A and B are shown apart, each in its own frame.
Chain A
Amino acid sequence: MGFLDIGSISSSEGTLKDTYDCLILGGGPGGLTAGIYASRGGLSTLVLEKGMEGGTLNFTPLIENYPPFPEIVGMELAQKWTEHAEQMGVAILREGIVEASLTGETLAVKTDQGRTVFGKTIIISTGSSYRQLGLASERRFAGKGVSYCALCDGALFKNKKIAVVGGGNSAIDEALYLSQIADSVTIIHRRDQLRAEKALAEKALRNPKIRFYWDTVLTDIEGARSVESLVMENVKTKTRKREPFDGVFIYVGLEPRSACFKGALEMTEDGFIITDPDTLETSIDRVFAVGDVRKKEIRQIITAAADGAIAASFIIKKYFL
């Protein structure tokens, strides 16, 4: 039967303070770890999370590179992380943020429930979502055979023929998961080798249900009411082909969730928040960014957690000692 989720929805309890020493926006690995460090450092700490605590972990079927767990289901790691944070006294509010005011003595955010919460310091750990390819047909067929969530929608493609676009860790992770459900999985990748880590790549290359179209990009998605075929182009030979598929899962990179802070904070062109590399403080004093949402080279669970620890520890040292 699989698992039974007993705790991902719970009633909010306790009363909120007006102002927190440390307000953490997003409850993924970076945010929760920041919460643990801030709380242990004696700061009153609130994490705002609109989805599920653990963030993207909940969408990762299997994690094999977060030590010391050789194999752990993402959701299980998310639950452990949340329990740890709660044990350390971190308060969690299940609301998203719609607006941030980062000027003045006290920083403030407005939530999607119309509430305003104040913080003496803020850590932005809003993470990222999967980027779209940008095809018009991709938008047209979103939810009609085009998906960005293998865990959610994979089960609807039992014994079907599907494609995965991308060649990084996420694409390969999800292709391996989908290969357990679908009849066949075709990985469409624009280069001639995978960007994913070697152990993962080799697993996919060995999987009899997974095949590869190298040097290939997806140029169009066709169908009447839902996805029926994909049009692809070989980037080297410039030849095009059309092939029937029932669905396509797209993992071509990350889109930072930083729209709320646009104009207020220094960012890269793609919207990744720029921080001091040592302290993770942003262009505004007392505002920090950790994990996937900040400009960095390596986006992993372990580096997000490390970011959280660094930012919270530095906040304590600089602003509360």
Chain B
Amino acid sequence: MPLLKEKDQQAVREKFAKELKNPVKLRFFYSEEDTSEETTITGELLEEIRGLSDGKISVETIKELDGEKAHTYRIDKTPAIVVSSNGDERDNIRFFGLPAGHEFASLLHTLITVSNDYHVELPDTLVEKVRAIDKPVKIQVFVTTSCPHCPPAVVTAHYFAMLNPMITSEMVEANQFEDLSRQYGVQSVPMTIINDGKQTFIGSRNPEEFFKAIEEAI
């Protein structure tokens, strides 16, 4: 049985037909040891959205977590999805955990933005500031899939990564990565961790405020 209801399939198909421009590549990482339901469903879900994209979305499935590709793409846990434009090898826009619930909206919006030449919806002045960052930045946005506040935080972080390859942005589903959540003391979402804890904030901030936290972290 498909994961998306028929009505939603139709809506996604129409959305893709209207809004997808360039081909998008999804790299889906899983490992044989990881038999979790979330990982299985992530694979099925990506396959389903690929089928609704009229050939615009391709999915590469990578099994070996200790293999060369996982190493190249800096993948240390599964399920993981790396989103890029087809043909470029960018690895800095990432989802860890099943992007269900509200995070499915984050995934769809990310795909569409990548497909439109990474054209982000941010004020020009901020775009310039993000592009000027010349030090490595890692943003982890911890979420739960039932959290309505979370997608804007994920999308803003992903926008920053789209603008600047120095920035890596990750959605992390807090329940699926309990140890990591415990390490950072995640008890409220969205919780954003920049450069492994140099800066941390809870809640959804507007892009300008979000960027200030990055400036303070580097």
Residues on A lying within 8 angstroms of B by beta carbon are 1-12, 51-52, 58-59, 75, 96, 112-114, 142-145, 147, 149, 151-158, 225-227, 247
Contacts and interface: CB of A to CB of B under 8 A. Distances in A.
Nearest to A154: B146
A303 to B, nearest CB: 22
29 contacts: A1-B100, A2-B146, A4-B3, A4-B45, A5-B104, A5-B105, A6-B11, A6-B12, A6-B104, A6-B108, A7-B11, A9-B109, A10-B109, A51-B149, A59-B148, A112-B208, A114-B123, A143-B188, A143-B203, A144-B188, A149-B149, A152-B146, A152-B189, A153-B144, A156-B181, A156-B187, A156-B189, A157-B187, A158-B175
B202 A142 contact: yes
Contacts, number: 119
A155 B144 contact: yes
Given A1-B100, A112-B206, A155-B175, A8 B186 contact: no
A51 B189 contact: no
Contact of A1 (B3, B150, B174): B3
B145 interface: yes
A153 B187 contact: yes
A6 B188 contact: no
B101 A4 contact: yes
B6 interface: no
B121 A144 contact: no
Nearest to A59: B148
A151 B146 contact: yes
B128 interface: no
B121 A12 contact: yes
A246 B96 CA distance: 26
B151 A9 contact: yes
Most chain B CB neighbours (cut-off 10 Å) among A5, A155, A227: A5
Interface in B105-126: 105-106, 108-109, 112-113, 121, 123
**Contact-size category for B:** 35 or more
A63 to B, nearest CB: 15
A8 B151 contact: yes
Given A143-B191, A154-B144, 10 more contacts: A1-B98, A3-B100, A4-B8, A6-B15, A12-B121, A152-B147, A155-B145, A155-B174, A156-B175, A225-B185
Contact of B148 (A1, A4, A51): A51
A77 to B, nearest CB: 13
A320 B19 CA distance: 37
Nearest to B147: A152
Most chain B CB neighbours (cut-off 10 Å) among A12, A59, A155: A155
A11 B121 contact: yes
Contacts of B11: 6-7
B131 interface: no
Nearest to B116: A11
Most chain B CB neighbours (cut-off 10 Å) among A11, A51, A156: A156
B152 interface: yes
B112 to A, nearest CB: 7
A96 B206 contact: yes
B65 interface: no
Contacts of A113: 123
Interface in B191-212: 191, 202-204, 206, 208
Given A4-B8, A151-B146, A156-B144, A144 B175 contact: no
Contacts of A52: 148
B132 interface: no
Contact of B100 (A4, A153, A226, A227): A4
Given A142-B188, A225-B185, A2 B121 contact: no
A312 B148 CA distance: 28
A25 B100 CA distance: 30
B101 A152 contact: no
Contacts of A156: 144, 174-175, 181, 186-189
B50 interface: no
A156 B181 CA distance: 9
B41 interface: yes
Contacts of A158: 175
Interface string B84-105: 0000000000000010111111
Contacts of B123: 113-114
Contact of B8 (A6, A11, A12, A75): A6
